[in-house]
Amino acid sequence: MTIAPKLLKGAIVAIDPNSQKPSVIVFQYNPHTLTRRLEPQTMGGESRLQPLRIKGAPVETIDVEIEIDASDQLEKGVVTALAMGIYPQLSALELLVYPKSSQVIANEALLNLGTIEIIPPEAPLTIFVWGPSRVLPVQITSFSITEEVHDTFLNPLQAKVSLGMKVLSYNDLPSKHRGHKIFLAHQVVKEVMATVGTIGDLGSAVGGNMNIL
């Protein structure tokens, strides 16, 4: 009998800047594809004397499409699914790009008291988790929801959520910020992985004696 390995689920973790309490949104189904784009941050044409210098980590963006479906929960008679469909799960994702209502109310009260400058509330630290080797601080840059099936109360039962994310590196965050340390740890893991995926002998790769140094 063959036992299939347990499949890890991707997730998004939001850490409240005040309480430091995490909220974990686990993907019901892992996206079939994940699109990553890296824009190198080199000196380029800025200096012909030092064209190979790198200014920092590349600007990386990630696009994923998440599917959410209430079918299994409806079959099992889960009360929340019967009453609200997948609206709670969609709400958890949407709140990643909302300020807290308590902060909005507090800022409105300060404005009514005559406060001249109001500092916008700080968003939670959002972390994209895609396996143990990829834990990345991100900023949500685009968000679209396609609701496909609804119940009699117009609660969504199936939906596809497209997320665009920008990875926040040490270029974007202060050195004492938790996200700065998370990204730096991610790069260290990537460097270790790279040693597994490369060889140091060009001759053995091309099948002959070759020296380019």
Q: Which amino acid is at 170?
A: Y
* Beta strand residue intervals within 27-134, DSSP E: 34-42, 54-69, 125-129
What pLDDT does 118 receive?
Answer: 77
**Residue-level pLDDT at 69:** 96
Q: Are 56 and 41 in contact (CB under 8 A)?
A: yes
Both tokens of residue 137? 């601080």
What residues form DSSP beta bridges with 166? 61, 139
For residue 200, count CB atoms less than 10 angstroms from its CB and return exposed for 0-12, middle for 13-18, buried for 19 or more. exposed
Nearest to 139 by CA among 101, 100, 97: 97
Burial class (CB in 10 A: 0-12, 13-18, 19+), 87: buried
Helices (H) and strands (E) in the chain, counts: 6, 7
Q: Which two tokens stand for residue 197?
A: 């995926």
- Residue 126 sits at φ, ψ, to 5 deg, of -100, 130
* Residues contacting residue 11 through CB under 8 Å, at least 6 positions apart: 24, 25, 26, 27, 129
**Rounded to whole angstroms, how far apart are CA atoms 65 and 31?**
6
What does each of the 213 residues of the chain score in pLDDT, given as a tens digit? Answer: 556 567 789 999 999 888 888 999 999 999 999 999 999 988 766 666 667 788 889 999 999 999 999 999 999 999 999 999 999 999 999 999 998 888 888 888 888 888 777 778 888 899 999 999 999 999 999 999 999 999 999 999 999 999 999 999 999 999 999 999 999 999 999 999 998 877 766 666 565 565 655
pLDDT of residue 197: 76
Distance CA 87, CA 80 (A): 9
As a whole number of angstroms, the distance between CA 146 and CA 160 comes to 5
